[in-house]
Amino acid sequence: MSDPGPSQSLSIASPCKVNLHLSIVGRRPDGFHEIETLFHRVSLQDSIHLQRTCAPGIHVSVSDPGIPSGPENLVWRAADLFLKHHPQIGGISLHIEKHIPSGAGLGGGSSNAAATLVGLQRLYGLTLSADHLRALGASLGADVAFFLADTRSAWATGIGEKLTPVDGSPLLWFLIVYPGIHISTQWAYRTFSQDIVLTNSSKNLKVSNSFRDLSDVCGLMYNDFEQVIFPRYGQIKILKEHLIAAGAAGALLSGSGSSVFGVFDTRAACEAARDSITGIESYRVFTVHSL
């Protein structure tokens, strides 16, 4: 049987993450911040649909009309970068089916970019090294590296691009609540630099390459951005308190927000908490699990 060659189209899942820990440990001379964060991949995901085109160039469409489809979108930028490195492949049409809220601290844009790079490699039947993909991803954003890695959890240092995979992290259940507030990561870092004195006094946590159960996870949960976000958005702080009152073993702002998640050891406990939380009818609520 002859080789059918590359596909004409394909779809690829683009899952999001939560940050089980996030410490801002310093600011570099170039203005970027050094962080220590624990990424954890979860089952809330977008889909990226890719199709080869005869005409050259990039066409991106998005199911959410509020999200740009041009160079402001990381999918467009990922495709443009890929085509510049592999100009022989011609044109590409991409459609993003969005489920991950934008500006929510869940890494949706970075995940979409990583999925686009992986999808283009598969679509055109290219065999690219992991180092090449990582280099492409690093030029798009620090979080992209995690979504290119084959791991459920990873500690990230530097600006978020230096990864240490976590072995044997447990399967957990999460109730993610997005209150409909778009928070710019750039704004959050800038405000942190202006308002907060960098100190390690509250976060002397040793990086571990394994954690076994829910209690280990709860012992790690911390996010420096809560010092910036909660004073300005009191409803987000209240949302975290609601999740704890509803039975979450721990609750935390994810990334720079505005999503807050509660962590549970069973789906039943997660669903019970969802049913018990009141006053969030206007929020988007997701019951998800570790991937």
- What's the rounded Cα separation, in Å, for the pair 133 and 95? 21
Catalytic pick from 17, 46, 224, 240?
Answer: 17
Whether 162 sits among the annotated catalytic residues: the reply is no
Residue pair 273/175 in contact (Cβ under 8 Å)? The answer is yes
Whether 30 sits among the annotated catalytic residues: the reply is no
- What's the rounded Cα separation, in Å, for the pair 253 and 134? 27
Residue pair 290/194 in contact (Cβ under 8 Å)? The answer is no
* Strand extents, DSSP E, the chain: 9-27, 33-53, 58-62, 91-97, 153-157, 162-165, 173-178, 222-223, 250-253, 260-264, 284-289
Catalytic pick from 84, 98, 143, 275?
Answer: 143
Query: 120: which 2 tokens?
Result: 């283009």
- What's the rounded Cα separation, in Å, for the pair 120 and 115? 8
Residue pair 181/236 in contact (Cβ under 8 Å)? The answer is yes
Catalytic residues: 17, 143
